[in-house]
Structure 1
Amino acid sequence: MEEVERVESFKFLGVHISADLTWSTNISHQSLLTSCCTLCFNCCTVEDKRKLQVRAAERAIGTSLTPHTDICTGRLQQEASIIIKEPSHPGHSLSHLPSGQDVQWSRGKGTKSNTCSAHSLLSYLFSAHSLHATRETDRGHGRVREPEHKRTADIHAVLRELTASVAEQKVRITFLENENQDQAANLERQKTETDQLKLQSKEQAAKLETEINQLQLQSEEQARKLDTEIDQLKLQSEEQVAKLESQKAEIDQLKHELQARQVAFSASLVEHGGGTYTGPFNTETTLIFKRVVTNIGNAYNPYTGIFTAPVRGVYNFELTLHGHGDNSYPTAARLFMNKELIFTAWEHQTTLSPSASNGGSLLLDAQDQVYVRLWAGARIFDDYNHHTTFRGHLLFSM
């Protein structure tokens, strides 16, 4: 007995039937409106259904099409009813599940029993068509036909394999559902934890922001307080500086007044060396007493011979002159205050050494000047003995 040839797919009545019962081949070869496509629509994959392009067909014919799921379900139920009612039909045994319970056909769309019956019916059609094609092939080649009970046994074996495969798929689906539920619960728990962390983070951020604002306010208050204290210290410092300046001015004034009250000078005409005559001159000439013995208060200027009163008060001045006897030149000089003649010292001898002196007390205002001028045509003498002198001092201030 020859072996039956097993093929991956064959064409029966214009329909491509594959061993894995997929509809991809028919999708690429058949029109959208063929009965075989709608009859076995449930065998199509998602990709196959996408290739059908139902919307494009509706636009092409200008009317709406009945959903393929409804057509397929109706035809499967109609065919299954015929098989169940006809005991002599080769597929009548498909109406019984392996447990011995009858299949409950329902008019509802998409139910579990409907789907199982559809797969059973398609399995039967595939097996029947395959056997028919095999018989036809055997007839053409003169092969011996297989016994009917063997073909029935093959169908039952295929059905058992399909049942085991479905059971295995159910177990896997249940496992995947449980795993998905666990993952969903885990994700929900993680989401809850994440929300809690976000809430805690927001609370901490708000707390930190509040603390930062408080610190900023405290810092600003401290800065304002420090600025106020600094301004006060600056003001106090300025007041103290002004007070010190005032005190310094008062001290300087007191020193000046003290120094002004201590005014005294004494000077001679010649600083050093042998005897020297001064004069005669055609006009009166201010005498400069170069040798300064005392100059308390520095009121006398040894470079100009002028005394300047530092304060208002009463001053005493004395003038002493020395000369040699001569018929032509007297020994004479005059004391001036601010260009005003005050006293005159005069002596004229023809022999020996004449001398003359004069002095008095003067009321001077501050910056008044007192000086001595040589009489025009007169002559005086001085040497290392310092005979010719000019002196003065403050008696009291006013």
Structure 2
Amino acid sequence: MNPPQQVDGGLAENEISQQLSNEDRRQNPPQTDSLRDEASTDSQQYCHLSFPDIHAALRELTATVTEQKANIRVLETQLRDAQKTAEQQTVILEDLNKKTDEISNLTESQVEELRKENRDREIAFSASLMESGNSGYIGPFSTEITLTYRNVFTNIGNAYNPITGIFTAPLKGAYMFTFSIYGHASPSTASTVFIVKNGEKVVVAHAHQAQYAVNSSKGVVLILEVGDVVYVRLWSNRRIFDSHDNHNTFSGYLLFPLK
């Protein structure tokens, strides 16, 4: 091998090349580490910019989920209330259907029994003393007498007997009775009658004057048991007058039944 050639200044060619290479590296140093550092810095900056956005998105999503859960609870409550209302309406409807079935299942005999019960509660009568075309005085008598009101206007329930003048209660209840009297004036004789329940005097109607006509009327509500009797009697030594004008009347009717 030939030895390195010398150049001016005493340096061989290999030494010259090595010096040139070292000079070039000093003027243009490697950029690998610098680029790596810049990339790392950019990545850190990117991560630093992205994390706050992710946390905000998560908070917003959490708030939305919480709101939706609250809405779901409200809807569940409304659904339970609606189901409860529907169940109550179903019970009411079932009761109505049951009552309808009970009514529709009534036999003819039961219907007739109900009708009969209503008819039994229809009690009313009204009558005057003189039959049509008659007129005159009744009394005076030395003892009391029961007046028989023979001219019957109304006798629903047939509880009044025009032969005896007695009303007999067909059922327990509250009854209203009224009666009126009429007489001609007399210096010595008054017109006096009274209503009687089971033999006991209850209410008296009295009228007396020396001239012209006299009249009076009374009314009373009585509680009667089945079979109790009510009638009107003329006081002893009293007299009344009646004609086709029906001045003297006796009436009664059931106000309402009692248990």
Q: TM bucket by the smaller chain?
A: 0.5 to 0.7
Give CA deviations for 1:186-230 in whole Å, capped at 9, x if unaligned.
Answer: xxxxxxxxxxxxxxxxxxxxxxxxxxxxxxxxxxxxxxxxxxxxx
Aligned match of 2:221:
361
Written as runs of structure 1 = structure 2, the 5 A alignment for 1:153-164 is: none
The aligned runs of 1:39-50 (5 Å cut-off) are none
CA distance, structure 1, for counterparts of residue 149 and residue 134 of structure 2? 16
TM-superposed CA distance for 1:340, in Å, is 1.2
- By relative contact order (CA 8 Å, sep 6+), the higher-ranking structure is 2
1:339-350 pair list within 5 angstroms:
339-350=199-210
Task: Tell me the SS of whatever aligns to 1:259.
Answer: helix
Cα pair distance change 1:311/1:384, threshold 3 Å: same
Corresponding residue of 1:371:
231
Instruction: Return the alpha-carbon distance in structure 2 between the equivalents of residues 286 and 354 of structure 1.
Output: 21
1:312 counterpart = 2:160: no
| 1:291-310 → structure 2 map (5 Å cutoff) | 291-310=151-170
User: Structure 2: which amino acid aligns with 1:371?
Assistant: Y
Residues in 1 aligned to 2:171 and 2:233: alpha-carbon distance in whole angstroms = 24
- Mapping of 1:155-174 within 5 angstroms? none
Q: 2:131 aligns with which of 265, 268, 271?
A: 271
Aligned to 1:283: 143
- Contact 1:306 1:369 survives alignment (8 Å): yes
How many residues align structurally? 153
Q: 2:149 is matched by which residue type in structure 1?
A: F
Q: Residues 348 and 292 (structure 1 numbering): CA distance in 2 closer, same or farther, change over 3 Å?
A: same
Q: CA deviation at 1:353?
A: 0.4
TM-score, normalised relative to structure 2: 0.56
Shift of 1:254: 3.6
Deviation at 1:357, TM superposition (A): 0.9
Shift of 1:259: 2.2
Deviation per CA, 1:31-86: give whole Å up to 9, x if none. xxxxxxxxxxxxxxxxxxxxxxxxxxxxxxxxxxxxxxxxxxxxxxxxxxxxxxxx
Distance verdict in 2 for CA 1:251–1:373, change over 3 Å: farther
After superposition, residues 196-345 of structure 1 pair within 5 angstroms as 248=109, 254-345=114-205
SS in 2 for 1:357: strand
- Please give the alpha-carbon distance, in whole angstroms, between the structure 2 residues aligned to 1:365 and 1:289: 23
Q: What is the distance in 2 between the residues matched to 1:284 and 1:251? A: 47
Counterpart pick for 2:240 among 352, 377, 380: 380
Distance (Å, rounded) in 2 between the aligned partners of 1:337 and 1:255:
30
Q: After TM superposition, what 4+ stretches of structure 1 lie above 6 angstroms from structure 2? A: none
Note closer, same or farther for the CA distance 1:368–1:253 as it changes in structure 2 (3 Å cut).
farther
Unmatched runs of 5 consecutive residues or more in structure 2: 1-106
Instruction: Provide the secondary structure at the position in 2 that maps to 1:323.
Output: strand
Q: CA RMSD in A?
A: 1.9
Where 2:184 maps in the other structure, the secondary structure is coil
Question: Which residue of structure 2 lines up, in the alignment, with residue 32 of structure 1?
Answer: none
1:265 deviation in Å? 0.5
Q: Deviations for 1:281-331, whole angstroms, at most 9, x for unmatched residues?
A: 111100000000000111101111000111111000001000000022111
Once residues 362 and 253 of structure 1 are traced to their aligned partners in structure 2, the CA distance between those partners, rounded to angstroms, is 28
Distance change >3 Å, CA 251–CA 309, structure 1 → 2: farther
Give, in whole Å, the separation in 2 of the partners of 1:377 and 1:255. 48
Question: 1 or 2, which has the higher helix percentage?
Answer: 1
Spell out, residue by residue over 1:114-133, the C-alpha distance to the aligned partner (whole angstroms, 9 max, x if none). Answer: xxxxxxxxxxxxxxxxxxxx
CA contact (8 A) 1:333 1:374 kept: yes
> Is the Cα–Cα contact under 8 Å of residues 257 and 311 in structure 1 kept in the other structure?
no
User: Which of 1 and 2 has greater Rg?
Assistant: 1
Q: Is the 8 A contact 1:289 1:389 kept in 2?
A: yes
The sequence identity of aligned pairs, in percent, is: 45
Unaligned runs of 5+ in 1: 1-245
